[in-house]
Structure 1
Amino acid sequence: MPELPEVETMVRGIREAVVGSQIREFQKCRCACKPISMKPGFKSIQKKVLNRTVISARRLAKRVILDLDNEHSFVIEPRMTGLMLLSDPPDREHLRLEWQLQKGRTRTSLWFWDRRGLGTVQLLKKSELDLVLGPQKLGPDALTLTLKDLEQRCHRTSRAIKVALLDQKLVAGIGNLYASEILHLSRIHPERPANELSQAELKALHQATRKILKAAIRYEGSTLGDGTYRNALNKSGGYQNHHRVYSRAGEHCQTCQGAEIVRIVQAQRSTFYCPCCQVKNSL
């Protein structure tokens, strides 16, 4: 967490406030926790961004991108517990950075909050951004991935399909939570080798990917039991109420109303599935 839907929600939540705004101040917040990773370094970033204007706010995979009018971009990767906030942070002790923005007579603060401190902030030139996060590093975005692309990429790997979906070079934006939900809707067992999926299964997988991610965005992401993920206004997401398998081990499947959800570990990550809806043999 956060995955594509949560980061997309962050971007949509801050876009109106930040685009067209001038960065009047960029500063570290008082925080006794371990500092987050910043490149090239706070002072260097500060010199390059003061009085620059934010010309766009967008998502790239699981990252928030703030493009500036000097061909530099902030690349903010929330990772486990990072949030982009416009108001009411969960607490003050984990605030990391503040952008003081001005648009006309309106002044706004944008904060980066991170409880565990695993998030990263970079300032990259356009050429650097293309190199670091271009097609050689990231696969197609999960929301724009075509069926043909999915077929080609799955046919290249014999890894379990759940593990393959977490590979950001194969498809960008899907994480552990949504991979389990997507595979359940697709009725595909998570241990099936990606290159053995049939044409019908790949079509179902492609359709489920778009359906699950769009629904999660509509509900502004998933706030799990620890309550960490919040939208830009510090409100909970709502898609956790629609999870069918994720973190439901031992519960009866909501789809078939019979079998119990099973938890297994793949690539050191928890996977949840229904053994009745998602049989291991191919179609």
Structure 2
Amino acid sequence: MPELPEVETMRRGLLPVLGRRVVDAEKLACPRKPIRILPRIDRLRARMVGETVTELGRVGKRVVVVLSSGDRLVIEPRMTGLVLLADSPDPLYLRLRVQMAGRGPEAFYYWDRRGLGGVRLFSEAEFAEEYSAAKIGPDALVMTADLYRTRLCASKRAIKVALLDQKIVAGIGNLYAAEMLWLAGIHPEKRCDRVTRKEWQRLADAGIEVLEEAVRHEGSTLGDGTYRNALNQDGGYQNLHRVYGRAGEACPRCGEGILRIVQAQRSTFYCRGCQRKSS
């Protein structure tokens, strides 16, 4: 579930470890599906211990912990992973603990209920290669109308499906794509090559508005309660969803009914009144 707002909230939640020195990195015993940790834990520990956290970044839906050596610890939470400083939702699913020296939180943790995510330590050169512009698109928070149009105007894919392609734009997932398209007044099945210049502008404006608002509210905690911030607290943006998860309810803008369809095996929610397919 974690998309850009949730992962950005995780990144910000780790700010107390900036400037702190790593004293240990430990793979924790978990009876569930093991997560991918690369390199193996003894080598990862050897490269991390003694290094200082110099920066906390994000690449799309991944948290990046930058060390004084230049190495980058990339945490990819996928559907059910969390980065935590506080108690976990359930200690059974704790996967990795990185202990820190100095004042403040004694450690940060990676938690993953289903084991779909992973952790990988890259050298600076490996990181640049893995996340080059050829492999991952610009961050959704820097996308402009011109960037959207340049990268998508020739595509015959439905606009909602195209927005989920991380090679096109990084960080947007199913939930926020639906919210962005509602705010922009664009039908989710509209082909990219039929989107007008005005619609690209509305989409770019909607993307910044929705994502920044969601970051301010620390992301969305849905009904399964999986997503939590770094202090094991709910996000708040779920209370502001306009269409996502609201099939059968009235649109807050026009009063028409919200519908649910399936696109690329994912649920899409939209308003039949203000997101007309012919528009």
TM-score range, shorter chain: over 0.9
Which amino acid is 1:275 matched to?
A: R
1:145 equivalent among 143, 146, 151: 143
Alignment of 1:43 with 2:39, yes or no, is no
Map 1:120-159; keep pairs closer than 5 Å. Answer: 120-159=118-157
SS at match of 1:134: coil
Confirm or deny that 1:202 pairs with 2:200: yes
Q: Deviations over 1:132-156 (max 9, x none)?
A: 1110111110001122111101213
Percentage of pairs with the same residue: 52
Structure-2 change in CA distance of 1:205 and 1:106 (3 Å): closer
1:279 matched residue in structure 2: 276
Query: In the alignment, does 2:235 pair up with 1:237?
Result: yes
Q: Does 1:165 align with 2:160?
A: no
Determine the C-alpha separation between the residues in 1 that align with 2:36 and 2:253. 42
3-state SS in 1 of match to 2:33: coil
Letter in 1 for 2:50: N
- TM-score, structure 1 normalization: 0.96
Counterpart for residue 267 of structure 2? 270
- Cα distance in 1 for partners of 2:45, 2:106 equals 18
Give the aligned partner of residue 98 of structure 2: 99
TM score, norm. by length of structure 2? 0.98
Deviation at 1:106, TM superposition (A): 4.5
Secondary structure of the corresponding residue to residue 27 of structure 1: strand
- 2:53 aligned residue: 54
Q: For 1:268, give the aligned amino acid.
A: Q
Gaps spanning 5+ residues in structure 2: where?
Answer: none
Shift of 1:95: 0.5
2:48 pairs with 1:10: no
Match of 1:108 among 93, 101, 106: 106
Aligned to 1:70: 69
- Contact preservation (8 Å) 2:262, 2:268: yes
Runs of 4+ in 1 over 3 A off after TM superposition: none
Q: Is 2:74–2:122's contact at 8 Å kept on the other side of the alignment?
A: yes
Q: Distance in 1 between matches of 2:227 and 2:147?
A: 31
Q: Aligned residues, how many? A: 279
Which residue type is aligned with residue 178 of structure 2?
S
Determine the structure 2 residue equivalent to 1:88: 87
Conserved? CA contact 2:144–2:201, under 8 Å: no
The residue type paired with residue 70 of structure 1 is: S
